Structure 1
Amino acid sequence: MNKAIVNIFASHNNIIILATDITGSETIVRVTGGMITKAQHKEGGPYTAMKAAEQVVDALRNKGVSSIVIKVRASGGIKPKNPGPGAEAAITSLTRGGLNILEIENVTPMPHDSCRRKKRYRSKEKK
């Protein structure tokens, strides 16, 4: 096995990195932000994402993987469509680990006129 798919789900609160074989059926390794840090407000940060990606690189090296396809995903739908702050740090760490990146793809779900968004909060003015 020399190719793998690395799925990065990066929200503003957490990061999940999942590495599978090229078919996507067999999971090689899965690392989340909560497995790296115990402080809940740091789970989605760049440092946590970098450490999680380093663990993924080690596991992929042990399996003999040399090249990867990266799929980045944000929350999407009616939620934010931009990946969190950890996505870029994770991709950089995967590159520094010596893995050959074949493709980087954005797989964030985009709505085609979906559910109505929640109304904005308007604070009450004091008189």
Structure 2
Amino acid sequence: MAAKRKGAKKVVEEQVSLGPQVAEGEFVFGVCHIYASFNDTFVHVTDATGAETIVRVTGGMKVKADRDESSPYAAMLAAQDVAEKCKALGINALHIRIRATGGYGPRVLLHSLPYEP
């Protein structure tokens, strides 16, 4: 039998927190850029300066059929995915910028974003 090792190493687990360190009740802002075209819907969240991408999801990432990429359903799934990732990273407030074709259709995406006062 092998002899026991002297001085066994202790494993120390460090907690890794993604996102900024903020106090309770403080708002952390991000900018949500929404681009809704006839072919696809992009939801792109950056920091307040727009320099760092936090999360980017498209309608095509959420549905399998090409014809459904620009549908309101795909946009809703993309917005829900973005909201989950933003909450996990500690972003609790978003400025929303929409770039889309005319009409009410592209704005369906805003109804699926969670609103908590």
Normalised to the residue count of structure 2, the TM-score between the two structures is: 0.71
Matched, 1:82 2:102: yes
Deviation at 1:84, TM superposition (A): 7.6
Asked whether the equivalents of residues 72 and 83 of structure 1 are also in contact (C-alpha less than 8 Å), the reply is no
Deviation at 1:35, TM superposition (A): 0.4
Aligned length: 91
Structure 2 CA distance for partners of 1:10 and 1:62, relative to 1, 3 Å: same
**Identity between Structure 1 and Structure 2 (%):** 37
Matched, 1:30 2:56: yes
Question: Match for residue 98 of structure 1?
Answer: 115
Question: Match for residue 121 of structure 1?
Answer: none
Q: Which runs of 5+ in 2 are unaligned?
A: 1-19, 21-27
After the TM superposition, which parts of structure 1 deviate over 4 Å for at least 4 consecutive aligned residues? Answer: none
> What letter corresponds to residue 19 of structure 1 in structure 2?
V
Question: Match for residue 43 of structure 2?
Answer: 17
Asked whether the equivalents of residues 11 and 83 of structure 1 are also in contact (C-alpha less than 8 Å), the reply is no
Deviation at 1:98, TM superposition (A): 3.1
Q: Which runs of 5+ in 1 are unaligned?
A: 75-80, 101-127
Deviation at 1:14, TM superposition (A): 0.7
Give the number of the structure whose alpha-carbon radius of gyration is greater: 2
Structure 2 CA distance for partners of 1:88 and 1:71, relative to 1, 3 Å: same
Q: How does 1:1-127 map onto structure 2 within 5 Å?
A: 1=20, 2-74=28-100, 81-82=101-102, 85=105, 87-94=106-113, 97-98=114-115
Q: Distance in 1 between matches of 2:52 and 2:41?
A: 20
> What letter corresponds to residue 67 of structure 1 in structure 2?
A
Normalised to the residue count of structure 1, the TM-score between the two structures is: 0.66
Q: Per the alignment, in what secondary structure is the counterpart of residue 65 of structure 1?
A: coil
Q: CA RMSD in A?
A: 1.7
